[in-house]
Amino acid sequence: MYFELLALEIHATMAGLKVVKPPYSKGESGVSHRFSCLAQDDNITYGFDIYDDVTQEEVLRTYTKKLDTKVYPFIVSLRGKPAKDVAVLADDYGITILGPADVDTFFNWMSVPQREAQRSLGITP
């Protein structure tokens, strides 16, 4: 998992995001939630949780963090695409699941020019 975390941090930095270390975000409840990786720009904080395999429990764990912290959540599934019921649950809760091969494409989409263009159109992730 070390290399996947390092890849996330490198891609986030190259996309113009600031990597937050340690990756904790204090929630409205007062609880500090740990993500595998946190990256932010001026407007949004993105939280990434890395799991070997994603089940409904991991989706709920990440969703709880989302509710309390208002961090925009992503799950990186090291085994690739999860089961259909897990993918549907994540989608219902506004969580994007990325496979290892999706990380590069995702951060190309998250580059500074792309984010600025989306904001000028009123689009936020």
- Give the bridge partners for 19, in sequence order: 39
- Which domains, ranges and CATH numbers included, belong to the chain? 2-120 (3.40.1350.10)
pLDDT, tens digit (0-9, with 9 covering 90-100), for 35-75: 999 999 888 899 999 999 999 999 999 999 999 998 999 99
101-108 long-range Cβ contacts below 8 angstroms, 24+ apart: 103/4, 103/7, 103/8, 103/11, 103/76, 104/11, 106/11, 106/74, 107/11, 107/12, 107/14, 107/15, 108/15
* Lookup: tokens for 42: 């001026």
Predicted TM-score of the model (pTM): 0.84
Q: Answer whether 74's CB lies under 8 Å from 47's CB.
A: yes
pLDDT, tens digit (0-9, with 9 covering 90-100), for 92-116: 999 999 988 888 888 877 655 555 5
* Lookup: tokens for 53: 């395999």
H helix or E strand, kind and range, residue 106: helix 102-109
